[in-house]
Structure 1
């Protein structure tokens, strides 16, 4: 097994560097997804560790699982982190919990309504005091499907991103609520006892007046409502992630399905502008678009990739204001009155539906008909339509950018993109699990059995990002959901023209064993690194910069040390 990793794994893609940054595995704790009369239940694929928050003073991690368990983990000894406390949250097992953050002695969480079309809630608890359950001190309704929350640095302002997923009301009625932000402001550090608590809502209705113009510029607006009852663009704008400017006066809101970013003025609680992100051209780099081609084949194709970022991070570096995005990709799927709606076709579907415009070159047309080329690649049936005949397609768009990008925060113009670096790094260092994935039906298989499986979808599916400072440089860590790998890059903080430099790629755990056996022996790794957080040296348990990772499908929380080693 050429690339088996149980602890430290370092490898370098670029040459000419005298040092490299990597990750040293320190400790992992496995979390249950529920308890039966005090008996902990463990299983892969249950979302037992969806998100994490870090208390830098008391060296504790708060982790929430989708089913509704809140865990407190002691990381004061980074080589032996331990579960201190757990408690079931309200409606555990009935609703989905989506995020957790710690700030100033309080822990905030978001949960969806059991009927996704209805408003969710934010809950705030007192931090763990060493005995007994944590106490709920504040609760408030927020928008539909709250997906993320974020405190300002003084802990007095809490921003909640409400994705506004479509769903029902429990009575069979279809609902497609607007996406929105909630800004909850507290007048003191003692949040629940503040003299005033003000909750404001930022909606995106201002963009409805120019909704056709925004759609023409590239903001994806797939579901337009039912005949005779059209919807508005604001009902389809779905906030996925929020990051704040350096002075915390602006929020940058990633809209994954819409392939766009909204800039929000937090002072006035108003949306300023909506920016489409466009697409990358796969003819300039390459991708592996098929799981039927007998292995790894990264090639250039005259098609496009929608960025559709999951994570968006604001960074001030080299005198520049930047946004860094992990370009995961996502399809738009919904069911309305029993009818399934999807914006996804395979390449072969365009051929079968006679939907290819006459001006499409024969080379591309033939590739779309060939399952070893573009025939099984998932492509958008919303984008790329011919202006002269909307039933035909003259350009073809895959979902996601299979990497990450850097943008100018002032106008959202792209500064840099990773091209095909992410897939090529996997091909070079982890070929046996290239574009592999875990699903429940694979529990008794080897990870290598699904090698190349996700090439036809979104490849490694770059999802999470952590950004911090170490060794005089900005460190960027990219988490890839399907391959469960972490890639380390650096950005020269002092050079205004610097671009990210690849350092190392890391995949903790065993993949020479079946998933269930590796999990049972606590050697499975961080499967689906849903949330990763950079811990600077001044806040870490031992004075070294660290990375905190939540593996959603493995139900793990892991601590890594960011290390600097000579070649």
Structure 2
């Protein structure tokens, strides 16, 4: 984790309407300092005064009742408000309606069926809208998907419309299917089956990329020619590979992020684009979506499938509800040999965000970050649904946290991505300045899990649309992020504080020795086996690839090993250490430190003071050392170390958060050759190990205590302890 910026909630506007889409898509106009928010419940646009971001107030609303049956999206540019409105019959053409920022009608033009996301080109000369063309519920009418290009270069009242469709690809249906594009509607042509969802536009306003969510693909649009030029299949995510785990069951009563023999369809909803060194990159929020209609449904539980016995020799175990049995997958893929059983499993969405080059080649995927991060920050509410609290784990079998919205923004020369999680809620923040090696910055969630969702006391529920406001355009001169939350009907404003260091030091592809200054530094090792010392100041240190040696030195430092077997030492100050991939050694040193092994078999030592240790995935060794420490082993067979005279000192109170009986082990080092069974009998008899409401509490002789959270004394056995 690298803390280049920090988001803070400064205000929320509440419609008071629950679970009816009363706040879906926000758009900001710089000159009027107004925020335009889709209120689907009222078929309107709420117009908010954002001149004081800490106190947004409603000015008026723009009703769309005269133009159609539902308001889907809004965009603003140069004082022009464009709104996508579906017809009462969603299989008929819809409209894009134009207003000025005071809400006065300017014009309306007809576009394709079910217009959804829309955007202005960067030069403000055109408006593009994705027409989904969804079938009716009986699947008897299936309109064609398309992208409408609205030319407003001669003024809004003289707007002209060009519809770019997919008819030219109809003869290529088998070729596209072989490439991995999902074309599977009953009897549908390519043009009918493809459903444009979201649009991003190049900085030169020449090219647009459109997500085809159900089809697991992107479309490429030549804006000037008004033609779709390519369809790019996105492929599948192999959840059996390290770093691609997920929690597959809502029936296992716990957090169980692991690898499974399942492929994930990326199926992005929102898409954004940004440039680095003159190259365009695309970023997608891989929500996932299914077709589940009265006339056709592809959803099926793994437990109800006939699995091929050769591909799945352990099918009986896999199909238990606590394993893969309750996972929702598609029945349109997986029978690779056509014999009627399933040789592969394909789940909806990839529970991640991805970065692609402009040709659709993936350069990064966040793997299982989102579930690991939410499990760490909100362990009691992991994979909750967005319309009710006390819904722990209910979404694990169905797309998990469900990343839906994504925007990017540049702050102090660095590019950041903001990804909204529709189900559990909250915003993930990553630094994507290096598109191949993004770094996690922050997770912030404005949801109150103790509140009543329907009563409006649970905070933000279901973030749908996001918009970034740069410092230059912001009413208060600071960058802002706006999130519209469709379930709670709230629009929340986040203020972004920049905490970028003063110096930047970057190595090359070799084995570098890099040393910081007395100021606050950014130090990046890139490739090679690097040795980096932050020296003084509050430093941000990234080892990236290779087996690196990182040391923070003095100050409050952030250190990220990246890939490779890294050695990371915090030094003095309150430090954040992240091992990244592979097998790492982390030592906090002095100060109250946060140490995260992330992936691999890691050795984590807290050092002095009060530390937080998290092993992540893999078989980890955790040693809090001195101070009152909190330790989480994560996945794997983990060992919790307590050294004689160096831990459990008088007044110290350690906590083990997730001890797994029979799997993990507590080791007392330097305590002598003690028989674990005799010791356990003795401490139970002496009352030094007892049950509490929070778990088992052990009191060392006239010294510190350790709480084994969520485990009773009766569950423990001698095999859970060892002495050396």
TM-score band, normalised by the shorter chain? 0.7 to 0.9
> For 1:155, which of 110, 114, 124 is the aligned residue?
124
Secondary structure of the corresponding residue to residue 333 of structure 1: coil
State the shift of 1:135 in Å: 2.0
Number of equivalenced pairs: 498
Cα distance in structure 2, aligned partners of 1:366 and 1:23: 47
1:283 alignment partner in structure 2? 240
Residue 388 of structure 1, CA deviation: 4.6
Q: d(CA) in 1 for partners of 2:360 and 2:95?
A: 31
**Rounded Cα–Cα distance in structure 1 between residues aligned with 2:257 and 2:165:** 42
**Is 1:558 paired with 2:479?**
no
Q: Distance in 2 between matches of 1:470 and 1:484?
A: 24
Aligned to 2:183: 221
Aligned residue in 1 for 2:133:
164
- Determine if the alignment matches structure 1 residue 329 to structure 2 residue 293: no
- Within-5 A mapping of 1:458-497: 458-492=399-433, 495=434
- Cα-Cα RMSD: 1.7
Larger radius of gyration: 2
Q: Once the two structures are superposed, what CA deviation does each residue of 1:281-329 show, in whole Å capped at 9, x if it has no partner?
A: 1111210000111111101112110000001111112443211110000
1:305 paired residue among 256, 264, 278: 264
Matched, 1:546 2:512: no
Displacement after TM superposition at 1:91 (Å) = 4.2
Alignment match of 2:89 (pick from 100, 103, 115): 115
3-state DSSP of counterpart to 2:323: coil
Structure 2 residue runs without a partner (length 5+) = 500-537, 539-555, 557-724
Secondary structure of 1:374 counterpart: helix
Q: 1:248 to 1:369 in 2, by over 3 A?
A: same
Match of 1:377 in 2: 327
Q: Deviations over 1:4-26 (max 9, x none)?
A: xxxxxxxxxx3xx4x44221111
Q: Give the counterpart of 1:348 among 303, 328, 334.
A: 303
The match for 2:311 is 360
Report the Cα distance in structure 1 between the residues aligned to 2:423 and 2:192, rounded to whole angstroms. 30
Select between 264-273 and 78-87 the one with higher mean Cα deviation. 78-87
Residue from 37, 41, 64 that aligns with 1:89? 64
In structure 1, what is the Cα distance between the partners aligned to 2:303 and 2:233?
A: 28
Q: C-alpha distance in 1, partners of 2:436/2:346?
A: 30
Deviation at 1:245, TM superposition (A): 1.4
Q: Does 1:512 align with 2:512?
A: no
Is 2:8 the partner of 1:24?
yes
What are the superposed Cα offsets for residues 382-417 of structure 1, whole Å, 9 maximum, x if unpaired? 11112252x2211101100101001111x2111110
- Check whether the contact 1:485–1:507 (CA below 8 A) recurs between aligned residues: yes
Contact 2:122/2:202, CA 8 A, preserved across alignment: no
Please tell me whether the aligned partners of residues 288 and 297 of structure 1 are also in contact (alpha carbons under 8 angstroms): yes
Q: By how many angstroms is 1:343 displaced? A: 1.1
Task: Tell me which residue corresponds to 1:187.
Answer: 153
Q: Give the match's secondary structure for 1:433.
A: coil
In structure 2, C-alpha distance between the alignment counterparts of 1:215 and 1:314, rounded to whole Å: 26
CA distance in 1, matches of 2:275, 2:408: 11
Deviations 1:126-184 (A, max 9, x none): 211xxxxx22211111111001111113322111110001128xxx9931000001111
Match of 2:200 in 1: 243
Match for residue 423 of structure 1 among 336, 349, 371: 371
CA–CA distance in 2 between the matches of 1:509 and 1:358? 44
The alpha-carbon deviation at position 61 of structure 1 amounts to 0.4
Q: Please, what TM-score do these two structures have when normalized by structure 2?
A: 0.67
Secondary structure of the structure 2 residue equivalent to 1:454:
coil
Matched, 1:210 2:172: yes
CA distance in 2, matches of 1:98, 1:244: 19
Report SS of the residue matched to 2:175.
helix
Tell me which of 458, 462, 470 is aligned to 1:536: 470
Q: Deviations over 1:248-302 (max 9, x none)?
A: 1011010000000011111111111111111101111210000111111101112
* Partner SS for 2:296: strand
SS in 1 for 2:75: strand
Contact 1:222 1:343 in 2 (8 A): no
Give 1:221 deviation, angstroms: 1.3
Distance 1:175 1:155 in 2: 35
Shift of 1:425: 0.1
Distance in 2 separating the partners of 1:103 and 1:456: 40
Say whether the 8 Å CA contact 1:51–1:100 is kept in structure 2. Answer: yes
- Counterpart residue number, 1:438: 386
Find out whether 1:44 has 2:9 as its counterpart: no
Residue 452 of structure 1 aligns with which residue? Answer: 393
**SS of aligned partner of 2:240:** coil
The CA deviation string for residues 428-449 of structure 1, in whole angstroms up to 9 with x for no partner, is 011122110133xx4xxxx1x1
CA deviation string 1:37-76 (max 9, x = no partner):
xxxxx32101111111110112110112113122111111
Partner of 1:5: none
Matched residues in 1 for 2:381 and 2:70: separation? 30
Kindly indicate whether the alpha-carbon contact (under 8 Å) linking 1:178 and 1:236 is maintained by their aligned counterparts in 2: yes
1:35 corresponds to: none
1:498 shift after superposition:
4.4
User: By how many angstroms is 1:484 displaced?
Assistant: 1.1
Contact 1:146 1:161 in 2 (8 A): yes
Displacement after TM superposition at 1:89 (Å) = 2.1
Distance in 1 (alpha carbons) for counterparts of 2:277 and 2:230: 25
Residues in 1 aligned to 2:9 and 2:402: alpha-carbon distance in whole angstroms? 23
- Asked whether the 8 Å contact 1:489–1:501 carries over to 2, the reply is yes
1:174 pairs with 2:135: no
Kept after mapping to 1: 8 A contact 2:32/2:101:
no
Which of 40, 43, 46 aligns to 1:71? It is 46
Q: 1:315 to 1:367 in 2, by over 3 A?
A: farther
Deviation string, structure 1 residues 433-472 (Cα, Å, up to 9, x no partner): 2110133xx4xxxx1x101000010000000001010133
